């Protein structure tokens, strides 16, 4: 499997497209800045959000029980899934028991994480993603490249080609209004034909047993209103204690994600309407393990706003697919190694540790510190390439011994001055696109001894 | 006040002029400065690559060299931040804590500890200011574009007193230049792309120099500038502050 550095290099080969990707997401970051500047209490809101989430994580057990009890009282069926397989089976069992073959889904990163679409399609169920961006990547058999803007890696003409192939729109018509209208007609048919709707969950409220789903397209509402069965899927970290806490989170979420004051639709689901069935599936899938790790648990505070993606100078220039996982970007780089340290050992290194992610994060996750800690964990666990280990141990050996360091430094400078061809060749990754620093005759120390030492 | 000068390994070897400027500047400001002769490296390259545990000897050597001073000052935000956050020597934990609490990056040492301005510097040029991430976001040398807090900048505060200087900031005032330590070689493509983008924004301002508090970022940018055949030069902030009429 190719690692982040290799996939990023492939992405960057198309310089114009990389610039476009970078600028598009930087524009979203700027919209976020503007929206945040509009709230004098911004930093206070972040602090509250962080504290509420910390509190909830520390009392997860009792809040989960409270949530379940209230949801059951509301007439909702509650299911518990230990992992992705159980999650997928629970959903399939509900579908099977109703004899349903066509379902609609509104955006849910959890179902991506569990590879639900693939699983259901293998069982002969047609799954239609109804978020426009999700639908586009679904047509193309691609995963989303961004958790809020799933098709951000695509340009207008890519969408036009995809729609031409699947929806028979005019070839070469790149007009966004035309394309969106075509998608709308297509999706309306799917909404009407479907008997079951799956949604994700942005916030689950212990106090009421209800869930809140935020969308800009209203597709969660359209799906659930037309269907006889609604299944809402959530990782347990979506819990918040009280409905009034939404006044903190809803204000932060949309501003951080897109710079909007609030998402167009914040839909509250409490109970099934007459004649409808409502299910909530609560998923663990590795989350309990994370909760048990002092250094990494607060990654579970994440509200999936993607602000850390948009600000990340690496993500903007390497694209979502370079992270080879459902949740990419900085938060993905600290979550995924929990699930599979070997497969995702490259991700904590896909960062210059600039720290911008931690600064934008609306719930104050210490993302860049966790990236650093993951590097140490992965090294301890033996998940890093041997070549790197030998190199670093070698460096540590020299730098721990002043005399050896001085000898090494002087030799390196001598080589650079007298035999530069030994260093200046293109497989030296520094020299490929950069000149080496010039090598002075004298180190600072030599100069100091000669001129300053009393 | 006993002050030790910390000159990170790559400055010692490749940019001795930055060490000299730092020493001279501190002396001009009335400090008595010692340079412990057996210092090497802060251990950051290993630690950032996941091998903090392997840099024990390096850390010990650091503690040995820098024990017994009131302050330790270095012309590198990144190395200073690393020492502040991660220096470890269990056999000398008291000394280690003292070092971690009393190590300063050059500009913050001048503005916060000495509480002085640099008055005699002259640099009649168009200069672009690079905010290095570890200095800015790590040490808090200036306000950050992501946070909604009052604006300030310690490096700018000092540079604004330099005669003749025209200080310019790139459009994205504090985006990372892509150096990132070993990131610069293990993620070469992204690293260089980030550097090129930074340079493009400085060039749009028609600057003659790019300056900053971190030689490492400047070394990376210099490497790209030279390869591109650009006329723009890099210069460390200490070299500007140490100029005289
Ligand atoms: S880690 Fe923070 S910034 Fe990133 S998606 Fe989660 S909440 Fe948003």
Question: Residue B182 belongs to a domain with what CATH number?
Answer: 3.40.50
Given CB atoms, is A44 within the 8 Å cutoff of chain B? no
Answer with the one of B91, B113, B135 that is the final residue of a domain. Answer: B113
A421 has a pLDDT exceeding 80:
no
A302 close to ligand 1 (CB < 6 Angstrom): yes
A426 has a pLDDT exceeding 70:
no
* Domain extents in chain A: 1-12+306-398, 13-288, 401-451
A235 has a pLDDT exceeding 70:
yes
pLDDT digits (tens, 9 = 90+) for A153-183: 999 999 999 999 999 999 999 999 999 999 9
Helix-strand-coil percent breakdown of chain A, rounded to 5? 55, 10, 35
In a domain, B121, yes or no: no
Answer with the one of B59, B78, B113 that is the final residue of a domain. Answer: B113
A303 close to ligand 1 (CB < 6 Angstrom): yes
Report the distance separating Cα A82 and Cα A288, nearest Å.
Answer: 10
Q: How many CB atoms lie within 10 A of CB A83?
A: 12
Mean pLDDT in chain A?
94
Of B7, B14, B195, Cβ closest to residue A440: B14
Q: CA nearest A392: which of A349, A351, A340, A425?
A: A349
Confidence of residue A420 (pLDDT cuts 50, 70, 90): confident
* Kind and range of the H or E run holding A309: helix A307-311
Question: How far apart, in Å, are the Cα atoms of A383 and each of A84, A292, A353?
Answer: 24, 21, 20
Question: Between chains, do B138 and A440 touch, taking CB under 8 Å as contact?
Answer: no
Substitution target in A15, A322, A364, A395 with the highest count of B β-carbons within 10 Å is: A395
- Name the token pair of B4: 């030790």
Measured between CA atoms, how close is B220 to chain A, in angstroms?
A: 7
Ligand 1: which atom is nearest the Cα of residue A305? 8
Average pLDDT over residues A313-326: 96
Given CB atoms, is A186 within the 8 Å cutoff of chain B? no
Ligand 1 centre to CA of A36 (Å) is 15
Average pLDDT over residues A28-54: 97
Confidence of residue B200 (pLDDT cuts 50, 70, 90): very high
Of B45, B190, B197, Cβ closest to residue A395: B45
Of B37, B47, B192, Cβ closest to residue A445: B37
Q: HSE on the CB side for A41, CA within 13 Å? A: 8
Residue of chain B nearest A374, judged by CA positions = B50
Structural domains of chain B, count: 2
* Kind and range of the H or E run holding B5: strand B3-5
Ligand 1 centre to CA of A368 (Å) is 12
DSSP string, A240-301: ES-GGGHHHHHHHHHHHHTS-SS-SEEEEE-SPPTT-EEEEEEE-TTHHHHHT-TTTGGGGG
Q: pTM, whole model, 2 decimals?
A: 0.95
E-only strand ranges, B116-208: 126-129, 166-168
B221 Cβ contact list (under 8 Å, min separation 6):
B130, B177, B195, B198, B199, B210, B234
Ligand 1 centre to CA of A329 (Å) is 9
Confidence of residue A43 (pLDDT cuts 50, 70, 90): very high
**Contact call for residues B115 and B1 (beta carbons, < 8 A):** no
B93 Cβ contact list (under 8 Å, min separation 6):
none
A453 Cβ contact list (under 8 Å, min separation 6):
B35
Given CB atoms, is A242 within the 8 Å cutoff of chain B? no
Residue of chain A nearest B195, judged by CA positions = A434
Residues of A in contact with B10 (CB under 8 A): 437
- Name the token pair of A345: 């050992």
pLDDT at residue A325, as a whole number: 93
Measured between CA atoms, how close is B174 to chain A, in angstroms?
A: 9
DSSP-assigned letter for residue A171: T
pLDDT at residue A415, as a whole number: 73
In a domain, B118, yes or no: no
What is the percentage of chain A residues whose pLDDT exceeds 70? 98
Residue of chain A nearest B21, judged by CA positions = A444
pLDDT at residue B193, as a whole number: 98
Domain covering A13-288, topology: Rossmann fold (3.40.50)
- Name the token pair of A330: 């900085």
Report the distance separating Cα A273 and Cα A295, nearest Å.
Answer: 43
Confidence of residue A286 (pLDDT cuts 50, 70, 90): very high
Residue with tokens 């900085």: A330
Answer with the one of B90, B113, B136 that is the final residue of a domain. Answer: B113
pLDDT at residue A70, as a whole number: 98
Question: Between chains, do B57 and A400 touch, taking CB under 8 Å as contact?
Answer: yes
In a domain, B37, yes or no: yes
Residue with tokens 């310019």: B168
Report the distance separating Cα A310 and Cα A307, nearest Å.
Answer: 5
Residues of A in contact with B183 (CB under 8 A): 349, 351-353
Question: How far apart, in Å, are the Cα atoms of B130 and each of A128, A215, A399, B84, B166?
Answer: 48, 39, 29, 22, 14
Question: Between chains, do B57 and A399 touch, taking CB under 8 Å as contact?
Answer: yes
Helix residue spans in A38-172 (DSSP H): 42-58, 60-73, 84-97, 109-113, 116-122, 132-139, 156-167
Q: CA nearest B208: which of B240, B244, B160?
A: B240
* Domain range for B29: 3-113
A396 has a pLDDT exceeding 90:
no
Q: CA nearest A252: which of A365, A367, A354, A333?
A: A365
Report the distance separating Cα A259 and Cα A279, nearest Å.
Answer: 32
B147 against A431, higher pLDDT = B147
B-proximal residues of A, 392-451, CB under 8 Å: 392-393, 395-397, 399-402, 405, 409, 412-413, 429-430, 432-440, 442-449
Average pLDDT over residues A101-107: 92
Same domain, B132 and B106: no
Q: How many CB atoms lie within 10 A of CB B79?
A: 27
**Contact call for residues A275 and A116 (beta carbons, < 8 A):** no
pLDDT digits (tens, 9 = 90+) for A126-158: 999 999 999 999 999 999 999 999 999 999 999
Report the distance separating Cα A173 and Cα A250, nearest Å.
Answer: 37
- Name the token pair of A322: 């370079």
Given CB atoms, is B77 within the 8 Å cutoff of chain A? no
A454 has a pLDDT exceeding 70:
no
Question: Between chains, do B192 and A352 touch, taking CB under 8 Å as contact?
Answer: no
SS3 B131: coil
Mean pLDDT in chain B?
95
Same domain, B104 and B133: no
Q: How many CB atoms lie within 10 A of CB A256?
A: 27
A371 close to ligand 1 (CB < 6 Angstrom): no
Question: Between chains, do B133 and A355 touch, taking CB under 8 Å as contact?
Answer: yes
pLDDT digits (tens, 9 = 90+) for B13-34: 999 999 999 999 999 999 999 9
Residues of A in contact with B141 (CB under 8 A): none
Q: Looking at chain B, how many residues does it have?
A: 245
- Cβ-count burial A297-312 (b if 16+ within 10 Å, e if not): bbbbbbbbbbbbbbbb
SS3 A400: coil
A361 close to ligand 1 (CB < 6 Angstrom): yes
pLDDT digits (tens, 9 = 90+) for A176-234: 999 999 999 999 999 999 999 999 999 999 999 999 999 999 999 999 999 999 999 99
Which residue has the CA at smallest separation from atom 2 of ligand 1?
A361
């Amino acid at each position: 499997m190719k690692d982040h550095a290799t996939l990023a290099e492939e992405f960057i080969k198309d310089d114009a497209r990389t610039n476009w990707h970078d600028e598009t997401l930087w524009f979203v970051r700027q919209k976020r800045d503007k929206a945040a500047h509009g709230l004098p209490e911004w930093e206070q809101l972040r602090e509250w959000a962080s504290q509420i989430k910390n509190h909830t994580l520390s009392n997860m057990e009792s809040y989960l029980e409270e949530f379940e009890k209230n949801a059951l009282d509301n007439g909702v069926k509650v299911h518990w899934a230990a992992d992705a397989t159980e999650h997928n089976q629970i959903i399939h069992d509900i579908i099977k028991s109703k004899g349903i073959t066509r379902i609609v889904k509104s955006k849910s990163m959890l179902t991506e994480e569990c590879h639900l679409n693939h699983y259901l399609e293998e069982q002969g169920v047609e799954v239609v993603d109804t978020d426009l961006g999700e639908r586009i990547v679904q047509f193309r058999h691609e995963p989303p490249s961004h958790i809020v803007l799933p098709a951000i890696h695509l340009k207008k003409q890519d969408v036009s080609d995809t729609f031409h192939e699947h929806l028979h729109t005019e070839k070469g018509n790149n007009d966004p209004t035309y394309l969106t209208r075509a998608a709308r007609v297509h999706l309306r048919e799917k909404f009407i034909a479907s008997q079951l709707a799956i949604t994700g969950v942005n916030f689950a409220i212990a106090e009421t047993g209800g869930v809140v789903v935020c969308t800009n397209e209203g597709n969660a509402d359209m799906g659930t209103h037309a269907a006889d069965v609604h299944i809402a899927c959530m990782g347990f970290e979506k819990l918040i204690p009280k409905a009034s806490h939404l006044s903190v989170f809803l204000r932060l979420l949309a501003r951080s994600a897109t710079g909007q004051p609030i998402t167009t639709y914040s839909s509250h689901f409490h109970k099934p309407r007459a004649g409808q069935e409502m299910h909530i599936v609560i998923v663990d899938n590795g989350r309990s393990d994370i909760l048990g790790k002092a250094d990494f648990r607060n990654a579970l505070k994440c509200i999936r706003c993607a602000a850390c993606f948009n600000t990340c100078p690496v993500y903007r220039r390497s694209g979502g697919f370079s992270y080879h996982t459902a949740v990419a970007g900085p938060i993905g780089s600290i979550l995924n190694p929990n699930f599979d340290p070997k497969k995702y050992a490259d991700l904590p290194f896909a960062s210059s540790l600039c720290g911008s992610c931690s600064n934008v994060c609306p719930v104050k996750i210490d993302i860049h510190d966790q990236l650093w800690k993951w590097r140490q964990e992965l090294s301890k666990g033996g998940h890093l390439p041997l070549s790197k280990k030998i190199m670093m141990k070698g460096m540590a050996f020299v730098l721990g011994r002043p005399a050896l360091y001085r000898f090494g430094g002087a030799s390196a400078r001598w080589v650079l001055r007298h035999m530069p061809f030994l260093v200046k060749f293109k497989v030296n990754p520094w020299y490929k696109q950069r000149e080496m620093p010039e090598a002075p005759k004298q180190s600072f120390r030599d100069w100091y001894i000669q001129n300053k030492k009393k | 006040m006993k002050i030790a000068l910390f000159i990170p390994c790559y400055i010692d070897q490749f940019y001795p002029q930055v060490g000299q400027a730092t020493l001279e500047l501190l002396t001009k400001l009335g400090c008595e400065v010692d340079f412990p002769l057996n210092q090497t490296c802060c251990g950051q390259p290993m630690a950032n690559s996941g091998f903090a545990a392997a840099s024990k000897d390096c850390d010990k050597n650091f503690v040995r060299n820098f024990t017994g001073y009131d302050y330790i000052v270095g012309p590198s935000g990144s190395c200073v931040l690393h020492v502040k956050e991660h220096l470890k020597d269990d056999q000398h934990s008291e000394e280690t804590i003292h070092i971690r609490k009393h190590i300063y990056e050059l500009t913050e040492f001048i503005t916060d500890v000495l509480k002085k301005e640099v008055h005699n510097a002259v640099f009649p040029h168009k200069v672009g200011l690079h905010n290095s991430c570890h200095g800015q976001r790590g040490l808090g040398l200036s306000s950050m574009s992501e946070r909604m807090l009052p604006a300030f900048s310690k490096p700018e505060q000092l540079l604004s007193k330099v005669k003749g200087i025209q200080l310019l900031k790139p459009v994205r005032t504090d985006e990372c230049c892509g150096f990132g330590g070993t990131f610069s070689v293990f993620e070469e493509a992204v690293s260089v792309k980030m550097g090129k983008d930074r340079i493009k924004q400085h060039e749009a301002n028609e600057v003659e120099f790019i300056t900053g508090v971190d030689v490492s970022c400047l070394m990376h940018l210099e490497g790209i500038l030279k390869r591109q055949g650009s006329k723009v030069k890099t210069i460390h902030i200490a070299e500007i502050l140490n100029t005289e009429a």
